[in-house]
Amino acid sequence: MTGVDKEIINNYKTAVKYMRKKKWIGEDARITTMLMSEIMLNQTEKAGVSEEIKNMLKSFAFSLEYVSMDPVLESFTKTVTEKLDNIIEAGKQKVSESIERSNQFINVASTKYGELITTMTDATKALKEAARDEVSNYKEKLNKALGKMEDATRTERKIINLRLTRANTTLLEMNGAEAARWLRSGENWKGLVREAFGQTDKDDKVVPRTYPVVIKFAPVGWSPHEEEALRKFEADNAIPTNSIQAVAWIKNPVYRYTGQAFANVKMVTSSPEVANRLILGPTRIESHVVRAQKEWSYIPICAKCSQFDHFIAKCKADKYKCRFCTQEHESKDCSNRTRMKCTPCRSEGYISGNERCIKYRERREAIETKVPELSSVKYEAAN
């Protein structure tokens, strides 16, 4: 290429020398494609440059910019991709190591848990067997003592069932009413304990059996915790004074729904005669006629989920189920009690807990099969 000053430019050095002479670049400038592009674009701004030369210079300038950027972008992309790949690979490795450690922990924990469950199961079996052995030995000793205390004129007295309770008491079931009366009378029970175990404790005593009943649909305005109310109840129903030993609402009053007028009451009586009098009726609380039944035959129903076999304190359900209409709200807030539906069996026409419910009848029959005494509506009177 020949310049206007007749200088010959035939290589890189002469080109740089010429550009410095024209002051297009500085003495220490580093020649780059971007710098050359900028020089070309600057030349297009000068007067006297034809349009053809301008377009040529611009074409060269923009091409140089693209050519210079492409390797940079490619290099940048390659570098970033490599770094990202390394980061991802390192992350995968760490996640894999964490999963492996977690699996090892789970395997160890599962093994230990299995060993613990096995140990607890074995311990439970051992405790149950020990308890059975203890009860069996206890009953055997008492029956041997009874045999030594019998007189020739009496029928055989025998303990047919013995149960140790959590309250540190012993429940005895005798083979007849005469045997039970004999054990309760005088000092016979102390003689039996001495004969069986060699001594008696000063705190030992015979506690007569109680006979609980459930009073259904008692008016909530009644005050069973008040002594005066209990004595009036006894007088109104012609039963002996102080024959009612304890009374309590079955469901905590705080869980009653707005406007509830009736609730169930547990009543503990001192004799089968009193309990049977209430069961056979008529039984009154103030001006209301109520119905009584054996407490043992009462199937508990939850005030939250409206299912059988537990109360609200031990309910595991997440939501309330209305005992009147089966919808998900508290029974006390139900506004649709005219369309009754049972939650356990889903039948219409009665509420949850009704004796017509097939689920209720199934539980009742299972209990009565296990404890035949419960199949009777009333208690067996002592002879």
Q: What is the pLDDT of residues 79-101, one digit of tens each?
A: 656 766 677 777 777 777 777 77
Output the average pLDDT for the chain.
79
Spatial strand order of the sheet with 262-269 comes to 244-249, 262-269, 211-219, 288-294, 283-285
Residue 167's pLDDT is what?
A: 67
Q: CB under 8 Å to 351, separation ≥6 — which residues?
A: 323, 324, 340, 341, 342
Domains of the chain: 13-115 (no CATH), 209-298 (3.30.70.330), 300-383 (no CATH)
DSSP category for residue 255: G
Phi, psi of 174 (to 5 degrees): -90, 170
Taking the C-alpha atoms of residue 334 and residue 148, their distance in angstroms, rounded to an integer, is 65
Residue 1's pLDDT is what?
A: 39
What's the token pair of residue 69? 């950027």
Q: What is the pLDDT of residues 356-371, one digit of tens each?
A: 999 998 988 888 887 7
Q: What is the pLDDT of residues 27-63, one digit of tens each?
A: 777 777 777 777 777 777 877 778 887 777 777 767 7
126 pLDDT tier (thresholds 50, 70, 90): low
Taking the C-alpha atoms of residue 375 and residue 366, their distance in angstroms, rounded to an integer, is 10
Determine which helix (DSSP H) or strand (DSSP E) holds 244, and give its type and residue range. Answer: strand 244-249
Q: What is the pLDDT of residues 297-345, one digit of tens each?
A: 568 889 899 999 888 888 999 999 999 999 999 988 888 888 899 999 9
Residue 2's pLDDT is what?
A: 39
Q: What Å distances lie between residue 324 and 11, 257, 291, 328, 346, CA to CA?
A: 103, 12, 21, 11, 11
Does the pLDDT of residue 171 top 90, yes or no? Answer: no
User: Do residues 237 and 275 lie in contact, with contact meaning Cβ atoms separated by under 8 Å?
Assistant: no
Taking the C-alpha atoms of residue 279 and residue 188, their distance in angstroms, rounded to an integer, is 33
What's the token pair of residue 96? 């894999």
21 pLDDT tier (thresholds 50, 70, 90): confident
69 pLDDT tier (thresholds 50, 70, 90): low
Does the pLDDT of residue 280 top 80, yes or no? Answer: yes
